[in-house]
Amino acid sequence: MKLYKLYKKQLAMTEYILKVEDKSALSLIKKLLAYIPGVTLSPIRKQKKTGLDEALEDVKQGRVTQYSSIDEMFNHLNIKV
């Protein structure tokens, strides 16, 4: 499913979100909207996660391991010092 925002270019811009589940109907809808003056179609882009967002998600999901010392971590990872 793709989400699109419809824009009407005026001073007071109105936005509508149109949810289209049938991908075959999407091309027809795009063609119809192209004939309406002042209406543009802009896909909604998902915001990329930053490294901090990914790290916080890892903590929430319990995907972190705690070690009491650096030596314990090296032993667990089979790193010889």
Q: What is the pLDDT along the chain (81 residues), one digit of tens a residue?
A: 566 666 555 556 777 888 888 888 888 888 888 888 888 887 778 888 899 999 999 999 999 999 999 999 999 999 988
Q: How far from 28 is each of 9, 35, 57, 81, CA to CA, in Å?
A: 22, 11, 39, 64
Question: Does residue 31 sit in the same domain as residue 19?
Answer: yes
Q: How many domains does the chain have?
A: 2
- Domain containing 56 equals 48-81
Who's near 33: CB < 8 A, 6+ residues apart? 6, 39, 41
Question: Does residue 18 sit in the same domain as residue 42?
Answer: yes
Question: Does residue 33 sit in the same domain as residue 9?
Answer: yes
Token pair, residue 52, equals 């901090």
pTM of the model: 0.40
Q: How far from 45 is each of 5, 32, 35, 39, 81, CA to CA, in Å?
A: 10, 22, 24, 19, 46
Token pair, residue 49, equals 């996660």
Question: Does residue 13 sit in the same domain as residue 29?
Answer: yes
Question: Does residue 40 sit in the same domain as residue 13?
Answer: yes
